[in-house]
Structure 1
């Protein structure tokens, strides 16, 4: 359990640093996600934190539109509280990918999102886009191991609910490109395109 909690803690701290570094006039910048601005990226991440907390856990005191940093800090604290409590972290629930413990679901969804959407936020707001190499390798292994039929579902808009698109269409990236770029291409981002 500590490994998952610590991984989340590290990734959340990095995402929080990126939010804090967004210039005030950059929140409306287009992100690599076609439908989202930089603020929308943070709003999605905060909303997914609420999803991880189950029914009734989806709203926090501060809204992203009012204060993106504080909204994320509140969501982060709530999820970290679950991860730091063995009883809560071990509770099982049905998820779109099968039965998982709360900590497994957090690890596979919002923790991974912090890395990928951290790149989106950095790209949208002119920050360092470099992902942690260990995170890139871990995400590459997990993403390339997704069965083809599940990957197709991940790429189908609305397959997991209205307006939800997990991955976009794969973007061709040279085979000798850095692993970060290949990962981004695999999930539907074009690392060569600057907005």
Structure 2
């Protein structure tokens, strides 16, 4: 659990810096996610934090519309409280990927999202797009190991509910490209 909490905190620090780096006039900038602005990227991350809190019986009440940075900080604080409580972190929950602990779900969903959507936010707002190489290797290993039939489901809009898109269509990236670019292409981003 300590590794999961540490990984989450490190990634949340990086994401929070990107949110803090968005200038007021940039919130409506188009993100690499076709249907999302920069504000929508943060909204998605905050909403998914709320989803991670449900198994712990917690509800997240915050709005990205008024203050995206404050909303992310509130979401982060709530998730960190779950990770810091051994009983809540170890609680089993049902997920689209099967049963797992709340900590594992946080690690596989919102913690990973902080890295990938951090890139989206950076691209949308002209910030440094470099992902931590440790995270890139970890995400490449986990995503490239997903069975092809599951990847197809991830690439099918609405497969996990109305309006939910996990991955976009794969973008062709040369095998010789940096691993970050290959990862981004794999999940449907144009590096």
Shorter-chain TM-score: what band? over 0.9
Count of matched residue positions in the alignment of Structure 1 and Structure 2: 190
d(CA) in 2 for partners of 1:142, 1:10: 19
| TM-fit CA distance, 1:75 | 0.3
| TM-fit CA distance, 1:58 | 4.5
1:12 aligns with 2:15: no
> Root-mean-square deviation (CA), in Å?
0.9
- Which residue in the other structure is 2:34 paired with? 34
Taking the TM superposition and a 5 Å limit, the aligned residue runs for 1:108-127 are: 108-127=108-127
- Which residue in the other structure is 2:70 paired with? 70
Task: Give unmatched runs, 5+ long, in structure 1.
Answer: none
**4+ residue runs of structure 1 moved beyond 2 angstroms?**
55-59
d(CA) in 2 for partners of 1:42, 1:163: 16
TM-score (norm 1): 0.96
| TM-fit CA distance, 1:57 | 3.7
Q: Could you give the per-residue CA deviations for residues 15-45 of structure 1, whole angstroms, max 9, x where no partner exists?
A: 0000000011000000000000000000000
Q: Could you give the per-residue CA deviations for residues 43-100 of structure 1, whole angstroms, max 9, x where no partner exists?
A: 000000000011664532x310000000000000000000011100000011000001
Taking the TM superposition and a 5 Å limit, the aligned residue runs for 1:141-180 are: 141-180=141-180
1:51–1:57 CA contact under 8 A, matched in 2: no
- Which residue in the other structure is 2:89 paired with? 89
2:5–2:84 CA contact under 8 A, matched in 1: yes
- Which residue in the other structure is 1:59 paired with? 60
Q: What secondary structure does 1:59 align onto?
A: coil
TM-score (norm 2): 0.98
1:47–1:58 CA contact under 8 A, matched in 2: no
Q: What secondary structure does 1:54 align onto?
A: helix
1:49–1:58 CA contact under 8 A, matched in 2: no
Task: Give unmatched runs, 5+ long, in structure 2.
Answer: none
